Amino acid sequence: MTSELLQQVRVINPVSGTDQISDVLIDNGYIMSVANHICDLPNDAHIRDGHGLILGPGLVDLYSHCGEPGFEERETLSSLLHAAAAGGFTRISVLPDTSPCIDNPAVVAQLQKRGGELEEMRKMGKGDVNSSPLTSSTSLTLPFLNIWGAISLDVAGKQITELIDLAAVGVVGFTDSQPWENFGLVRRVLEYLQPLSKPVAFWCCERELMGNGVMREGSDAIRLGLPLIPASAETSALAALLELVSATSTPVHIMRVSTARSVELIASAKARGVPITASTTWMHLLLDTRAVKSYNTSLRLEPPLGTPSDLAALRQAVRTGVIDAIGIDHTPYTYEEKTVAFAEAPPGAIGYELALPLLWQHLVETGEFTALELWKALSTCPAECLKQKTTALAPGQKAELALFDPQQNWKVEKQNLYTLSSNTFWLGQQLTGRVVQTWC
């Protein structure tokens, strides 16, 4: 493997809390040196001018949806991994709502085998993303695949999967990624999972309160004439879950936080020592109910976009660590599935290739977030929520890195995306910022 020297690149290191200009030498998959200037190079070293580029730990996604198996027209595992790589992700975590559901060791083994085949192709030089749809100078490697195991065997959540068997075959943790209605069973799950030391994640939503709503309650929803979802649909379920976590002491990750009141509940629980981590999604940090006036079905999300006060509270919570991480929740759908009335559209939007450029542009470039705050919430903190270690960007450490060009302009079009789907609010728009290389 050829050695690579990145000269005078901006190095963001959330582990050490540093943001500085340095030379970085990478050799045979390891970081060999990080210094002001590196002169002693291997003979085969490839030198790259890093001026204006940003190097940081590879991004880590907590939860996203894969079409394979069952919905390959939306996304295959290969297209998902390629899209994630193009977004700077070196680890992704697939939710269990495939068809068949990831509720038994056989399905886990099927995905692991497929991931292994793609990895073998990568090692042979066939699985790397050697060139981007946008530029031949892009060089990316496929990310590591984490697999979530399902908690329940049925939609109603009345029968628990064989959790021990799933843990034995290497699932990253357990979630149904759907709201639970039977809190007696939730308590039992928390008791069962305690000795397994695996993450368990819940999306807090009371379906009865949600009803047929598609938009957060407030003046915007009234003006647009869309069915309302009260904030209490989230907060009532969250309050109940926090009580169960407090009683059982089983660590839990709270997915898809979307309201200001939820931030308050989580902050209070953490102050009491309740063992929880939490995440919101990247789109809930960028947009609020005012954007829905376009009736763009890619803004039909679950949970729905919050009010402006929700958005402000979520941003502040990420900065202060009340919300630990930013999830992508990449949810691909075909053109036909999304080309319907707003209230009839399935919820979700793609995100892997868009999240970092848009978050950087709207949060870091505006000065609301520091580069360290954003990168930490997208890399080391998600890994910690998954109970995985991340390595510092330092000599002797494995090179799990992403190189980002914050000035590269590109247009969001289907032919410029690796994902098979294009259900995004930003379709057809010009963006600034693109990942140009990953090491994994």
In 3D, which of 64, 57, 128 has the Cα closest to residue 352?
64
**324 catalytic residue (yes or no):** no
Take residue 351 and report the two structure tokens written for it: 């995100």
List Cα–Cα distances, 421 to 78, 300, 332, 384, 413, in angstroms.
13, 16, 5, 30, 10
Q: What gap in Å lies between CA 313 and CA 60, rounded to an integer?
A: 23
Q: Closest Cα partner for 146 from 273, 328, 406? A: 328
Cα 244 from chain centroid (whole Å): 26
Handedness of CA 175, 244, 302, 81 (dihedral sign): negative
Strands (E), 82-195: 89-94, 144-149, 173-174
Burial 171-206 (b: 16+ CB within 10 A, else e): bbbbbbbbbbeeeebbbebbebbeebebbbbbbbbb
85, amino acid identity: A
* Peptide bond just before 96 cis, omega within 30 deg: no
Cβ atoms within 10 Å, residue 348: 24
The whole-angstrom distance between residue 153's C-alpha and the CA centroid of its chain comes to 25
E strand residue ranges, 256-387: 276-281, 325-327
Query: Cβ distance 288 to 335 under 8 Å?
Result: no
Give the DSSP letter string of 314-329: HHHHHHHTSS-EEE--
Crossing angle for the helix pair 260-271 and 308-320, nearest 10 degrees?
30
Q: Which of 27, 324, 329, 405 is catalytic?
A: 329
Active site residue ranges: 329
